[in-house]
Amino acid sequence: MGESRPWLSEAADRLARARTGLVTEHGRYGWPELLGRARAVAASLPPAPHGWVVPADGSVRSVIGLLAVGLAEPAPRWVLGDPGRWGTGEPVGEVLWRAGAECAPPPGVTAATYATASSGSTGEPRLLFGDPAGLPQAARLYAAGMPEYADAEVFAACSAMDFAAAFYMTVVPALLLARDLLVFAPHRWDLAARELAGRAAVCLAAPVLAALGARAAAGGDFARTTLVPAGGGLTVARAERIAAGFTGCSFLTMLGSTETGLLTVGREVREDGHVGSPLPGKPVWLADTGRDGVGTLWTRGPDTRFAASDGRLLRGAGGAVSTGDLAHLDPSGTGYVLDGRGDDLIKVDGVSVYPNAVAAAVRALPGVLDAAVAVDRTGPADRVLVTAVGETTEEAVRAACGALAQPVVPYRVTVAAAEAVAYNERGKVLR
């Protein structure tokens, strides 16, 4: 696994000649300047038994730190995350912290590794380890498979850099393709609108945040802007609200995860669970398919992880990985429809009921903008928890669940009427 040469080595000359760079609320910083500062840090790194922690706040220091670990020779181990949680001691060059012992990869792994350390929606800190030598391959895979990526002049993310989608889909391509990079806070959509208007751009944001950002974008020309909804939840109604501000924009919906990287891509906004077709060059397949055609999604590729600090990553032969997502092929046989996750599967009188089917039934109610379904397994039987976002009633939600082909009786129904406070920072419905 891996190589000892720096993962940014093939992009260094491109960055040194580029007229692009990092854009922040404090101004623009060219890649040649940032590269020079990073090289000075990389050349003087002291020993670090467990590698380095790169801050993930999207500031100048975080980008210099990321460049530094991408240029250091031999390639070091590094973690992208909160130095207060994962680092130890004083910073080196004000941009890197020595990693703590909990940042070490699994026993037997001796090569350089990287990890993103975001906690996701669970709130439990975890590390997902990958091979840094695969990052340039991932950027080439995205650019070859998606014209929007090959043509983008600027990559933007309304999220911390350690959010895996932001890291893979904006930070890595911006660095390796030497394009502009903008990582901005949700209250700075004014900055994002200025940078995106009139340019070929890819912007990743949770749909609820993009809908709020549409107010700041109103009046601009966004015909060359592609919005990538992070965390799912892009409904037709919300897409209309976003497009009303980001005039002329398009959407690139993706199925992916911290563990598997990007699996499928679609360009239609749909609410039936359809998640598009596999990214060209990224193998995706179903295993353990049942009589209903539903199976577990598996993949392999340069953007996948090989280990998780909590041990929940499913691994197969030849580098195959899965998170237990359940899906079936669409009628064309080329795309996938997502049915939920294996650990969320609901058993009703011995029959499998898929959470996505329940959520789709609730979303179809008038006034409902989004829905989420969870399963409580602490009791003697599965208990279904349903959250609806929008204007509806508990009675209407229960009626929709009862009208399913396999009726479901929710244990608890929550209606969140205020959309702006119904989501976490990753765009997931709060349950």
Angle between helices 236-245 and 207-217 (to 10 degrees): 30
Non-local (6+) Cβ contacts of 13 within 8 A are none
Distance CA 347, CA 150 (A): 44
Residue 309 has a pLDDT of: 85
Domain containing 415: what range? 345-421
Cβ atoms 309, 119 nearer than 8 A: no
Segment 39-52 shows an average pLDDT of 95
419: pLDDT confidence band, cut at 50, 70 and 90? low
User: Is residue 290's pLDDT more than 80?
Assistant: yes
User: Is residue 421's pLDDT more than 70?
Assistant: no
Q: What percent of the chain has pLDDT over 70?
A: 92
pTM of the predicted structure, to 2 decimals? 0.83
423: pLDDT confidence band, cut at 50, 70 and 90? low
Q: Are strands 154-157 and 128-130 parallel, antiparallel or unpaired?
A: unpaired
Q: Using only the alpha carbons of the chain, give its radius of gyration.
A: 22
Instruction: Quick: pLDDT tens for 67-109.
Output: 999 999 999 999 999 999 999 999 999 999 999 999 999 888 8
Instruction: Quick: pLDDT tens for 299-334.
Output: 999 999 999 888 778 899 899 999 888 899 999 888
State which amino acid sits at residue 375.
V
Is 385 a domain residue? yes
User: Is residue 427's pLDDT more than 60?
Assistant: no
Distance CA 56, CA 65 (A): 9
Number of structural domains (the chain) is 1
The domain spanning residue 390 has which CATH number? 3.30.300.30
Q: Are strands 274-278 and 261-266 parallel, antiparallel or unpaired?
A: antiparallel
Is 27 a domain residue? no
Cβ atoms 20, 179 nearer than 8 A: yes
Is 81 a domain residue? no
Is 358 a domain residue? yes
Is 30 a domain residue? no
Is 362 a domain residue? yes
Is 312 a domain residue? no
166: pLDDT confidence band, cut at 50, 70 and 90? very high
Is 412 a domain residue? yes
Residue 107 has a pLDDT of: 87
Non-local (6+) Cβ contacts of 19 within 8 A are 30
